[in-house]
Amino acid sequence: MTSVFILFLKIFAGAALSALMVVLALLFDGIDRIVSAKMQRRYGPPLLQPVYDILKLMGKENIVPRRASRIFFMTAPWMALVTTLMIFLYIPTGSFPAVLGTEGDMVLIVYLLAMSALLMAIGGFASGNPLASIGAGREITLMMSYEFPLSIVVCTMAWVAWRQGMPGAPFSLETFASMSIWKVVGKTGVIGLSCLFLSLVLVVPGELGKGPMDIPEAKTEILDGLIIEYSGVNLALFKLTFALRPFAMAAFMTSLFVPVSLASLLGVGGFIVAIFDFLFFWVKVFVVQMLFVTVMRTTFGRLKIWQASQFYIMKVAGLSIAGMILLSIDVIAR
């Protein structure tokens, strides 16, 4: 009975958290548009414009192209959304543990992020449109380029946690949420961690297809790219996925590098503090998203696909390797 109750509780918590994430992601997307417009001295849309867009699309008809592979074309938006929502089930929020926390959360999150991008590319290929195929190919190229530095960041963080004896499994986000990794390294390690943090910040635009990496869905070049043939509910699902991905990436970065909680700052516990800690976590996520998603996509122009690929394979990967070496020196020397 106990195991059945725990399973029911996790299902209920997962459903409630997923619904909350959809609402928060749309609100954050609305604020993102407003801030971006203000930075460009425009009026910008209303706060709830993303909600209006989703509701409008939900009432439209799904049109399947004649040359499309119907099964993959119709399945890709649903699977991309579900895969993105699953990321939040492995992220601890303040004093509350992750709904489905395991020993390998970080590895799983990296794969879920890659899978959501891959599913969007599959939808583009399945549409049968040449422009969508170009966008999908760019998505795959971009994903293969930024996965290497992202893997280096994750593996290095886990290795440092293991060598320094941080309580918990090395690849678990609970380990980094409960104890700041900045406290277990020396001066050289701080520089190394800064390199890893900067590498992760630079991976964000590529992971999300924002700002200089807005290449797979470039409107001025390939007319919305891989989603050009989508309409109705399917397009609404992709729009939700686009809103959730930066939200998930910001939450992941916050858990790794900004684990400060109200409970640790105040030195107290209790359910009320946990509630405020939960809200404080999403405030941190909002700040991270505004700084490293909104500002970056508004400030920088779009790169070409070969420039983006070269940037990640050469420069960002080199920066992450430098951080790994500095952290290794710091840990071994202590």
Domain residue extents for the chain: 2-333
Q: Is the pLDDT of residue 174 over 70?
A: yes
| Cα–Cα distance measured from residue 310 to residue 308, given in angstroms and rounded to the nearest whole number | 5
- Tell me how far apart the terminal alpha carbons of the chain are, to the nearest angstrom: 49
Conformation bin of residue 44: beta by default, left when phi > 0, alpha when psi is -120 to 50: left
Instruction: Out of 114-128, 213-227, 250-264, give the one with best mean pLDDT.
Output: 114-128
Q: What is the mean pLDDT of the segment spanning 192-203?
A: 86
Q: Which residues of 211-225 are buried (b: 16+ CB within 10 A; e: fewer)?
A: bbbbbbbbeeebebb
pLDDT at residue 212 tops 60: no
Residue 32 in contact with residue 293, Cβ under 8 Å? yes
Asked if pLDDT for residue 262 goes beyond 70, the answer is no
Give pLDDT, residue 221.
47
Q: What is the pLDDT of residues 80-114, one digit of tens each?
A: 899 999 888 888 887 777 777 776 678 888 888 88
Closest to 214 (Cα-Cα) out of 304, 314, 83, 110: 304
Picking from 80, 174, 173, the residue whose alpha carbon sits closest to that of residue 121 is: 80
Cβ proximity of 65 and 129 under 8 Å: yes
**pLDDT value for 220:** 44
